[in-house]
Chains A and B, each alone.
Chain A
């Protein structure tokens, strides 16, 4: 968006008269995606609490998750209601716009003790969430640097065996036995990783 406006200004100051009307259309993806920032932070970088950072998540993951919200196959409090306002092309435009941003770790205020405890609990998580959650792909989001309270909310919700979509069976079984404090510590650990 920024580049485009600069270029367009160049056209004008360079006195280019290729057209008599508006030279090009504005950026639809930015217009759509700006509406998300009120909850997810400017450009999708969350300022915290339970709102996840969405900038820099893998493109395929974002596309799939937003579609699942819209179709009602992914449980949510509010995201389903919002995503039903967009058609396929718009959902993809929004997902692609955020996916194209670089990932940046959210600010973490986790205590050292919490992080230490969390580290002792994630041995099994690491079988899939390799490199302390730094790696994400279309099937699986990165965890390192994600907002702590969001990670905790998702882990709590995932303990529900009826949650849709179901977690991979191994993960669901593993997190069943986690206490409230365990979940807080695991969330603190991943949130603190950069």
Chain B
């Protein structure tokens, strides 16, 4: 932007009025700019809508979300342990309205990429020039024999979308007697929030310790043999909760053969585990809308151009957040935030007929093991040979040998992270 100043541009634009456009890729209708519809108001969609407006207030941006409020998955494990209430992780869309984003509460049931329109269960039809889909995850209910969506509703909550399921799981844990067993079935890769099940185990134990139910056990039955921040979690579990938390990897007895819902029992390859509380986190795939719209491939996830998140299946539709396949990036809230911004910049550039800058992506993810004990992982990503790849030498985990003071600062930073990322979305 460098060689012209504003006045030069205005002069040029004025002088050129009336000259025919040939092959200019901008999308402009008479009297109005392009219309972008964003479906899904979470960590990806809310950010994308806001940053589209920040990039160019002239773009018409509509956010369509089926719920009236958003409940954050990050920090929901602290609701389960009683460290915070659900209110503190619940947000409205009023802030986005103030940025000029039109908010529609509707559930989109049909997408027609050729007609460039979507339909809601309200009966409304919405036309778009560009569509952004940020549908999060859906569950493969058939992933564990004997398990079902119905089983998750009351007996074995997943609590992998925050809200009523979070409260259900919290209340089940509170009702568990001392000496009881709480089981967490951790899903196979890839899934939303890789450190989430292990932070949850820590927050289960945090509740059990502080409520005096110290004879209780938390058993993680994992469908894989290693997990995110593993060394840091195991160190922290031991430090704060002794032997209360037991992790069984897939090949060490964690693998689920089937689930007996009535008996509250996980049938394993090696042995069966009966729980007083059984938190089954199912295997996952891209959110329902992505499947309906034909945006997912055989993997269950959505392939996208790694430079900008435009679907490689349907043009002018972008898929961001947990639903998309994004190279080395994990399915995390911060990754969705970063992807939403890259997509917003790209769409705004296309609408204005300029080229988008080289994409830049970041992930930062905190986990709270106990009050005063936080850990983190971070990465900076660039496009390398068409793939989103971590910059060598950057990023990584909190050190294993950090002092208690550093762990305490990281716990404060976890909460500061949360305060700011939700403000970035909804403020």
Q: Is the CB of A11 within 8 A of B57?
A: no
Q: How far is the CA of A37 from the CA of B28 in the complex (A)?
A: 30
Q: Is the CB of B355 within 8 A of A22?
A: yes
Q: Is the CB of B352 within 8 A of A47?
A: no
Which chain A positions have C-beta within 8 A of B348? 5
B208-232 contact mask (Cβ, 8 Å, vs A): 1 or 0: 0000000000000000000000000
Q: Is the CB of A77 within 8 A of B376?
A: yes
Q: How far is the CA of A77 from the CA of B102 in the complex (A)?
A: 39
Q: Is the CB of B353 within 8 A of A5?
A: no
Q: Is the CB of B1 within 8 A of A4?
A: yes
Q: How far is the CA of A86 from the CA of B334 in the complex (A)?
A: 18
B5-19 contact mask (Cβ, 8 Å, vs A): 1 or 0: 010011011101111
Q: Is the CB of A38 within 8 A of B337?
A: yes
Q: How far is the CA of A73 from the CA of B364 in the complex (A)?
A: 22
Q: How far is the CA of A40 from the CA of B420 in the complex (A)?
A: 6
Chain A nearest Cβ from B62, distance in angstroms: 19
Chain B nearest Cβ from A29, distance in angstroms: 9
Taking a contact as CB atoms closer than 8 A, the residue among B56, B342, B361 that contacts A9 in the complex is: B56
Q: Is the CB of A2 within 8 A of B345?
A: no
Q: Is the CB of A42 within 8 A of B16?
A: no
Which chain A positions have C-beta within 8 A of B415? 49-50
Which chain B positions have C-beta within 8 A of A19? 24
A84 within 8 A of partner (CB)? yes
Q: Is the CB of B419 within 8 A of A48?
A: yes
Which chain B positions have C-beta within 8 A of A15? 16-21
Q: How far is the CA of A24 from the CA of B9 in the complex (A)?
A: 12
With contacts A38-B337, A81-B378 taken as known, whether A7 is within 8 angstroms of B417 at the C-beta atoms is: no
Q: How far is the CA of A38 from the CA of B338 in the complex (A)?
A: 8
B43-79 contact mask (Cβ, 8 Å, vs A): 1 or 0: 0000000110011111000000000000000000000
Q: How far is the CA of A104 from the CA of B33 in the complex (A)?
A: 32
Q: How far is the CA of A88 from the CA of B410 in the complex (A)?
A: 27
Q: Is the CB of A41 within 8 A of B424?
A: yes
Taking a contact as CB atoms closer than 8 A, the residue among B9, B361, B420 that contacts A47 in the complex is: B420
Question: Hey, which bits of chain A sit against chain B, CB under 8 A?
Answer: 1-28, 30-32, 34-42, 46-51, 77-78, 81-86, 149, 153, 156-157
Ranked nearest first, the 4 interchain pairs of A and B with the lowest CB-CB distance are: A85-B380, A49-B416, A85-B394, A47-B423
* Apart from A31-B359, A84-B393, A153-B409: 12 A-B pairs, beta carbons within 8 A: A11-B16, A15-B18, A17-B19, A21-B355, A30-B357, A34-B345, A39-B420, A51-B416, A77-B376, A82-B362, A82-B395, A86-B380
